């Protein structure tokens, strides 16, 4: 407000200053609006923790306007079935990503390529059947990975290469039947591994992974139960409790396979032997080489029931033999004590009964002296 007696110069000067302040204020407001992160539609955003929560909204695509400074992105309980490779582009600050309870069946190779600071990845309860070996190559800081309740039948070799910071890994409730030890060798700092509720086949293909599990448990790692489904003799038994002697036949198979490659190839065998040619009259029949297929011996894994039965029978036999030896020793001791007692009684009775032969010898000695 100007004073009533102010000059025109003062009025012009104040008007110019007012216009300058207005322009500065407008520029500051515009810059503040551009600097503030925009929150995707229907999502909840926390500016303090930099968390964007878009869970339970029935989304079929990832919102394209997720702020670049987001550290936590929650997309669980939606209807995501397919994601493009650029779904999380420019989110290099993202540390936690939750895609649980969706309909994802495959993940592009480079979908997590920009998530270099990712520490937690949740992919629980989807329909993922295969994984690319380079899927997690650009996330070396990953500490927690959940792949449970999916349709994984195998893990590609090299999937966990470079994940030295991984602490917990969940593979529960998939379709895994065996695992390769080399796949888990890079996980030097792993502390928790969940592999339960899978149709494990406890055969030669799982032997090397059993060695790794024993080493993992020895260094203090936590591992849930790995219950065998096949063979029938081991159904329901924890793989870690199966003795290594049960896998002795695996080395025999390896030796036979290695020696089979050195055999000289012969004529192919046929199941139906050809009819022998009729010999000419007056000529001796020549022996023909045998083309019958030799029967290959099938190596069966050692039966737990038979092994237990053998142990029980051996124990019973040893027990019976020990009992018989104890009875024989007791009988010998009793017999010896009775015989000793009998001889003592016999010696006591001899002086009372008299000995005519002894008296006759005494008389001979007296006569000889005389």
Tell whether 361 is covered by a domain.
no
Q: Is residue 283 part of a domain?
A: no
* Beta pairing class for 144-146 and 120-122: parallel
Higher-scoring residue by pLDDT: 94, 308: 94
146 lies in some domain: yes
Per cent of the chain over pLDDT 70 is 68
Q: Is 351 within the bounds of a domain? A: no
% of the chain beyond a pLDDT of 90: 48
pLDDT at 5 over 70: no
Tell me whether residue 160 is in a domain: yes
Q: What is the pLDDT of residue 76?
A: 96
CA distance 116 to 141: 7
Average pLDDT value over all residues in the chain: 80
- CATH number of the domain residue 151 falls in: 3.80.10.10
Which tops the pLDDT comparison, 239 or 8? 239
Q: Cα–Cα distance between 219 and 241 in angstroms, integer?
A: 17
Closest CA to 121 of 174, 50, 72, 156: 72
292 within domain boundaries: no
pLDDT at 369: 43
CA distance 358 to 362: 6
* pLDDT for the residue numbered 11: 65
Mean pLDDT of 336-355: 76
Domain assignment of residue 87, given as a range: 39-249
Task: State residue 202's pLDDT score.
Answer: 87
What pLDDT shows up at residue 34?
A: 40
Establish whether the linkage from the previous residue to 340 is cis, with ω within 30° of 0.
Answer: no
The partner residues of 146 in beta bridges, in order of sequence, read 122, 170
**Residue 295: pLDDT above 90?**
no
pLDDT, greater one: 365 or 25: 25
Please give the tally of structural domains in the chain: 1
12-65 pLDDT, tens digit per residue, is: 666 666 666 666 655 554 443 343 468 998 999 999 999 999 999 999 999 999
Q: What pLDDT sits at residue 205?
A: 85
Q: How confident is the model at residue 273 (pLDDT cuts 50, 70, 90)?
A: very low
Q: Which of 1-10, 22-31, 343-352 has the lowest mean pLDDT?
A: 22-31
pLDDT at 15 (0 to 100): 67
Q: Would 142 be classed as within a structural domain?
A: yes
Question: Looking at per-residue confidence, does 303 or 214 come out higher?
Answer: 214
Q: Is residue 149 included in any domain, yes or no?
A: yes
Mean pLDDT on 323-352:
84
């Amino acid at each position: 407000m100007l004073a009533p007696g102010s000059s025109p110069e003062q009025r012009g000067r104040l008007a110019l200053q007012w216009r300058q302040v207005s322009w500065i204020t407008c520029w500051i407001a515009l810059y503040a609006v551009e600097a503030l992160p925009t929150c995707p539609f229907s999502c909840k955003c926390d500016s303090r923790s930099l968390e964007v929560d878009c869970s339970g909204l029935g989304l079929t695509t990832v919102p394209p306007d997720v702020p670049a400074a987001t550290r936590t992105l929650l997309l669980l309980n939606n209807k995501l079935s397919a994601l493009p490779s650029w779904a999380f582009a420019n989110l290099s600050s993202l540390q936690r990503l939750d895609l649980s309870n969706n309909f994802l069946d495959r993940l592009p190779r480079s979908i997590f390529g920009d998530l270099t600071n990712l520490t937690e990845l949740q992919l629980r309860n989807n329909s993922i059947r295969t994984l690319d070996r380079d899927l997690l190559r650009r996330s070396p800081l990953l500490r927690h990975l959940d792949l449970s309740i999916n349709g994984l039948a195998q893990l590609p070799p090299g999937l966990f290469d470079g994940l030295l910071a991984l602490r917990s890994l969940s593979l529960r409730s998939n379709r895994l039947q065996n695992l390769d030890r080399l796949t888990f060798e890079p996980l030097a700092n792993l502390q928790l591994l969940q592999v339960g509720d899978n149709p494990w086949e406890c055969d030669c293909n799982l032997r090397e992974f059993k060695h790794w599990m024993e080493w993992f448990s020895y260094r203090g790692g936590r591992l849930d139960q790995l219950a065998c489904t096949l063979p029938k003799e081991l159904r329901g038994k924890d793989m870690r409790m199966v003795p290594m002697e049960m896998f002795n036949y695996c080395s025999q198979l390896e030796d036979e396979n290695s020696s089979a490659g050195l055999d000289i190839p012969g004529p192919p065998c046929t199941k139906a032997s050809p009819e022998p040619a009729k010999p000419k009259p007056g000529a001796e029949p020549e022996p023909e080489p045998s083309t019958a297929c030799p029967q290959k011996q099938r190596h069966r894994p050692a039966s737990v029931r038979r092994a237990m039965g053998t142990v029980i029978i051996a124990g019973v036999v040893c027990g019976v033999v020990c009992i018989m030896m104890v009875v024989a020793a007791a009988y010998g001791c009793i017999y010896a004590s009775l015989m000793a007692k009998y001889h003592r009684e016999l010696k006591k009775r001899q002086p009372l009964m008299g000995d005519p032969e002894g008296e006759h010898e005494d008389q001979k000695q007296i006569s000889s002296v005389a």
